[in-house]
Amino acid sequence: MTFEAIAKLLNEEATKRNHAEEISLNRPDPLLIASRHNDEFIALICALFAYGNVPAIIQFLESLDFSLLDADESMIEQALAHHYYRFQNAKDIQALFTTLGRVKHDVGSFESVFLPAYQKKSNVMDGLRALIALLYDINPYRSRGYQFLLGTIPPITPVSPYKRWHMYLRWMVRKDHLDLGLWSGVDTKDLLVPLDTHTFALGKKLGLIQRKSYDFKAVLELSRALQKIDPSDPVKYDFALYRLGQEKILL
Protein backbone atom coordinates (compact mmCIF):
# COMPACT_ATOMS: atom_id res chain seq x y z
CA MET A 1 0.00 0.00 0.00
CA THR A 2 1.42 3.40 -0.98
CA PHE A 3 1.78 6.20 1.56
CA GLU A 4 -0.94 8.15 -0.30
CA ALA A 5 -3.29 5.15 -0.02
CA ILE A 6 -2.51 4.80 3.72
CA ALA A 7 -3.19 8.51 4.24
CA LYS A 8 -6.51 8.22 2.40
CA LEU A 9 -7.51 5.16 4.44
CA LEU A 10 -6.64 6.78 7.78
CA ASN A 11 -8.41 10.04 6.91
CA GLU A 12 -11.54 8.10 5.94
CA GLU A 13 -11.42 5.93 9.07
CA ALA A 14 -10.77 8.89 11.39
CA THR A 15 -13.78 10.72 9.92
CA LYS A 16 -16.01 7.64 9.95
CA ARG A 17 -15.26 6.82 13.59
CA ASN A 18 -15.49 10.37 14.93
CA HIS A 19 -18.97 10.11 16.43
CA ALA A 20 -20.32 9.43 19.91
CA GLU A 21 -21.87 6.06 18.94
CA GLU A 22 -18.40 4.67 18.19
CA ILE A 23 -17.97 4.23 21.96
CA SER A 24 -20.73 2.43 23.84
CA LEU A 25 -21.29 -0.55 26.14
CA ASN A 26 -21.39 -2.66 22.97
CA ARG A 27 -18.16 -1.02 21.71
CA PRO A 28 -16.46 -0.33 25.03
CA ASP A 29 -13.54 1.97 25.71
CA PRO A 30 -12.43 3.63 29.00
CA LEU A 31 -13.26 6.95 27.33
CA LEU A 32 -16.91 5.95 27.73
CA ILE A 33 -16.65 6.47 31.49
CA ALA A 34 -14.43 9.54 31.22
CA SER A 35 -16.93 11.18 28.85
CA ARG A 36 -19.76 10.84 31.34
CA HIS A 37 -17.94 12.97 33.90
CA ASN A 38 -15.92 15.41 31.77
CA ASP A 39 -13.39 15.90 34.56
CA GLU A 40 -9.59 15.79 34.30
CA PHE A 41 -9.17 13.88 37.59
CA ILE A 42 -11.74 11.19 36.77
CA ALA A 43 -10.35 10.94 33.24
CA LEU A 44 -6.89 10.21 34.65
CA ILE A 45 -8.27 7.34 36.74
CA CYS A 46 -9.93 5.96 33.60
CA ALA A 47 -6.69 6.26 31.63
CA LEU A 48 -4.41 4.75 34.29
CA PHE A 49 -6.61 1.66 34.65
CA ALA A 50 -6.82 1.24 30.86
CA TYR A 51 -4.83 -1.95 30.65
CA GLY A 52 -6.04 -5.51 30.23
CA ASN A 53 -9.43 -6.72 29.04
CA VAL A 54 -11.62 -3.77 28.02
CA PRO A 55 -14.95 -5.12 29.42
CA ALA A 56 -13.14 -5.81 32.72
CA ILE A 57 -11.75 -2.25 32.73
CA ILE A 58 -15.24 -0.83 32.21
CA GLN A 59 -16.72 -3.06 34.92
CA PHE A 60 -14.07 -1.92 37.39
CA LEU A 61 -14.46 1.78 36.53
CA GLU A 62 -18.24 1.46 36.87
CA SER A 63 -17.72 0.17 40.43
CA LEU A 64 -15.87 3.32 41.55
CA ASP A 65 -17.47 6.23 43.38
CA PHE A 66 -15.63 9.21 41.91
CA SER A 67 -17.16 11.59 44.45
CA LEU A 68 -14.56 10.14 46.83
CA LEU A 69 -12.05 12.51 45.20
CA ASP A 70 -13.70 15.20 47.32
CA ALA A 71 -14.02 13.05 50.46
CA ASP A 72 -11.73 12.92 53.47
CA GLU A 73 -9.05 10.24 53.46
CA SER A 74 -10.68 8.07 56.14
CA MET A 75 -13.82 7.87 54.00
CA ILE A 76 -11.71 6.94 50.94
CA GLU A 77 -10.08 4.16 52.95
CA GLN A 78 -13.42 2.80 54.14
CA ALA A 79 -15.24 3.02 50.80
CA LEU A 80 -12.48 1.34 48.78
CA ALA A 81 -11.54 -1.33 51.32
CA HIS A 82 -12.66 -4.19 49.05
CA HIS A 83 -11.78 -2.83 45.62
CA TYR A 84 -9.01 -4.33 43.52
CA TYR A 85 -8.04 -4.56 39.86
CA ARG A 86 -5.41 -6.90 38.43
CA PHE A 87 -2.06 -5.61 39.78
CA GLN A 88 -3.70 -3.14 42.20
CA ASN A 89 -5.00 -4.13 45.62
CA ALA A 90 -7.31 -2.06 47.83
CA LYS A 91 -4.43 -0.08 49.38
CA ASP A 92 -3.15 0.90 45.93
CA ILE A 93 -6.57 2.14 44.83
CA GLN A 94 -7.09 3.98 48.11
CA ALA A 95 -3.69 5.62 47.64
CA LEU A 96 -4.54 6.75 44.10
CA PHE A 97 -7.77 8.42 45.24
CA THR A 98 -5.92 9.99 48.19
CA THR A 99 -3.19 11.30 45.88
CA LEU A 100 -5.60 12.77 43.35
CA GLY A 101 -7.74 14.24 46.12
CA ARG A 102 -4.69 16.02 47.52
CA VAL A 103 -3.78 17.41 44.09
CA LYS A 104 -7.35 18.58 43.59
CA HIS A 105 -7.43 20.29 46.98
CA ASP A 106 -3.85 21.64 47.18
CA VAL A 107 -2.95 22.33 43.53
CA GLY A 108 -6.29 22.72 41.77
CA SER A 109 -5.62 21.15 38.38
CA PHE A 110 -3.24 18.92 36.46
CA GLU A 111 -3.17 21.37 33.57
CA SER A 112 -1.59 24.04 35.78
CA VAL A 113 1.30 21.65 36.52
CA PHE A 114 1.66 20.25 33.00
CA LEU A 115 1.63 23.52 31.04
CA PRO A 116 4.66 25.39 32.46
CA ALA A 117 6.90 22.35 31.98
CA TYR A 118 5.53 21.59 28.51
CA GLN A 119 5.67 25.16 27.22
CA LYS A 120 9.44 25.60 27.69
CA LYS A 121 10.21 23.36 24.70
CA SER A 122 6.71 22.37 23.48
CA ASN A 123 7.59 18.87 24.72
CA VAL A 124 4.78 16.79 26.18
CA MET A 125 7.25 14.46 27.91
CA ASP A 126 8.49 17.42 29.97
CA GLY A 127 4.89 18.06 30.99
CA LEU A 128 4.36 14.41 31.91
CA ARG A 129 7.59 14.41 33.89
CA ALA A 130 6.28 17.30 36.02
CA LEU A 131 2.87 15.67 36.42
CA ILE A 132 4.09 12.23 37.45
CA ALA A 133 6.70 13.76 39.78
CA LEU A 134 3.92 15.74 41.48
CA LEU A 135 1.87 12.58 42.07
CA TYR A 136 4.83 10.88 43.74
CA ASP A 137 5.74 14.00 45.74
CA ILE A 138 2.29 14.60 47.17
CA ASN A 139 1.88 11.09 48.60
CA PRO A 140 4.77 8.97 49.98
CA TYR A 141 2.85 5.71 49.49
CA ARG A 142 4.73 3.15 47.38
CA SER A 143 4.00 -0.38 46.20
CA ARG A 144 4.61 -2.37 43.04
CA GLY A 145 0.96 -2.09 42.00
CA TYR A 146 0.77 1.64 42.70
CA GLN A 147 3.99 2.38 40.84
CA PHE A 148 2.83 0.27 37.89
CA LEU A 149 -0.31 2.41 37.81
CA LEU A 150 1.50 5.77 37.81
CA GLY A 151 4.51 4.65 35.78
CA THR A 152 8.03 5.87 36.37
CA ILE A 153 8.98 9.53 36.18
CA PRO A 154 10.14 9.81 32.54
CA PRO A 155 13.93 9.93 32.16
CA ILE A 156 15.49 12.36 29.68
CA THR A 157 15.59 9.50 27.16
CA PRO A 158 12.39 7.52 27.77
CA VAL A 159 12.16 3.80 27.03
CA SER A 160 8.54 3.02 27.92
CA PRO A 161 5.81 4.02 25.42
CA TYR A 162 3.79 5.71 28.27
CA LYS A 163 0.68 4.58 26.41
CA ARG A 164 -1.87 5.34 29.14
CA TRP A 165 -0.43 8.80 29.77
CA HIS A 166 -0.41 9.73 26.08
CA MET A 167 -3.98 8.50 25.81
CA TYR A 168 -4.88 10.80 28.72
CA LEU A 169 -3.22 13.71 26.92
CA ARG A 170 -5.15 12.89 23.75
CA TRP A 171 -8.41 13.02 25.72
CA MET A 172 -7.46 16.27 27.47
CA VAL A 173 -6.05 18.20 24.49
CA ARG A 174 -8.05 17.11 21.42
CA LYS A 175 -11.68 18.13 21.07
CA ASP A 176 -14.03 16.23 18.77
CA HIS A 177 -16.93 13.79 19.12
CA LEU A 178 -14.65 11.39 21.04
CA ASP A 179 -11.93 13.35 22.85
CA LEU A 180 -12.87 15.72 25.67
CA GLY A 181 -10.69 18.79 24.99
CA LEU A 182 -10.64 19.97 28.62
CA TRP A 183 -7.22 21.67 28.31
CA SER A 184 -6.53 24.67 26.12
CA GLY A 185 -2.79 25.41 26.30
CA VAL A 186 -1.33 22.35 24.54
CA ASP A 187 -0.94 22.29 20.75
CA THR A 188 -2.29 19.10 19.12
CA LYS A 189 0.76 19.00 16.83
CA ASP A 190 2.93 18.17 19.86
CA LEU A 191 0.93 15.13 21.00
CA LEU A 192 2.43 11.64 20.69
CA VAL A 193 0.61 8.43 19.81
CA PRO A 194 -0.63 6.30 22.75
CA LEU A 195 1.04 3.22 21.30
CA ASP A 196 -0.61 -0.08 22.28
CA THR A 197 -0.25 -3.58 20.87
CA HIS A 198 -2.96 -2.98 18.24
CA THR A 199 -1.55 0.29 16.90
CA PHE A 200 2.00 -1.10 17.05
CA ALA A 201 1.10 -4.20 15.02
CA LEU A 202 -0.92 -2.22 12.49
CA GLY A 203 1.72 0.52 12.26
CA LYS A 204 4.30 -2.12 11.37
CA LYS A 205 2.00 -3.80 8.84
CA LEU A 206 1.34 -0.46 7.11
CA GLY A 207 5.03 0.38 7.07
CA LEU A 208 4.59 3.36 9.39
CA ILE A 209 6.85 1.70 11.98
CA GLN A 210 10.12 -0.01 11.07
CA ARG A 211 11.22 -0.59 14.65
CA LYS A 212 10.83 -4.11 16.01
CA SER A 213 10.65 -3.12 19.67
CA TYR A 214 7.47 -1.84 21.32
CA ASP A 215 9.07 1.18 23.00
CA PHE A 216 9.29 4.98 23.04
CA LYS A 217 11.32 5.09 19.82
CA ALA A 218 8.43 3.29 18.11
CA VAL A 219 6.08 5.95 19.53
CA LEU A 220 8.20 8.68 17.94
CA GLU A 221 8.43 6.80 14.65
CA LEU A 222 4.66 6.36 14.32
CA SER A 223 3.95 9.91 15.51
CA ARG A 224 6.33 11.34 12.89
CA ALA A 225 4.75 9.20 10.17
CA LEU A 226 1.29 10.48 11.12
CA GLN A 227 2.62 14.07 11.19
CA LYS A 228 3.32 13.67 7.47
CA ILE A 229 -0.41 13.05 6.95
CA ASP A 230 -1.61 15.85 9.26
CA PRO A 231 1.17 18.00 10.76
CA SER A 232 -1.30 19.93 12.93
CA ASP A 233 -3.05 16.93 14.53
CA PRO A 234 -1.23 13.60 14.03
CA VAL A 235 -2.90 11.85 16.97
CA LYS A 236 -6.38 12.22 15.45
CA TYR A 237 -5.60 8.91 13.69
CA ASP A 238 -4.89 7.05 16.93
CA PHE A 239 -8.43 5.88 17.66
CA ALA A 240 -8.99 4.76 14.06
CA LEU A 241 -5.71 2.80 14.10
CA TYR A 242 -6.65 1.25 17.43
CA ARG A 243 -10.08 0.14 16.19
CA LEU A 244 -8.70 -1.17 12.88
CA GLY A 245 -6.18 -3.25 14.82
CA GLN A 246 -8.69 -4.35 17.44
CA GLU A 247 -11.19 -5.42 14.78
CA LYS A 248 -8.40 -7.15 12.82
CA ILE A 249 -9.59 -5.41 9.66
CA LEU A 250 -6.08 -5.00 8.23
CA LEU A 251 -4.14 -7.52 10.34
pLDDT of the chain along its 251 residues, tens only?
899 999 999 999 999 999 988 998 888 999 999 999 999 999 999 999 999 999 999 999 999 999 999 999 999 999 999 999 999 999 999 999 999 999 999 999 999 999 999 999 999 999 999 999 999 999 999 999 999 999 999 999 999 999 999 999 999 999 999 999 999 999 999 999 999 988 999 999 999 999 999 999 999 999 999 999 999 999 999 999 999 988 877 75
Q: What ranges in 123-215 are assigned the alpha helix state H?
A: 124-138, 144-150, 163-173, 197-205
Is pTM beyond 0.95? Reply is: yes
Amino acid 194 reads: P
Nearest alpha carbon to residue 83 among 30, 31, 129, 145: 145
Amino acid 70 reads: D
Task: For residue 208, give every residue at least 6 positions away whose Cβ sits within 8 Å of its Cβ, in sequence order, or none.
Answer: 6, 221, 222, 225, 226
Strand partners, 85: 88
CA dihedral 34, 225, 216, 151 (to 10 degrees): -10
Give the three-class secondary structure for 173: helix
Residue 85 phi, psi dihedral angles, 5° rounding? -150, 115
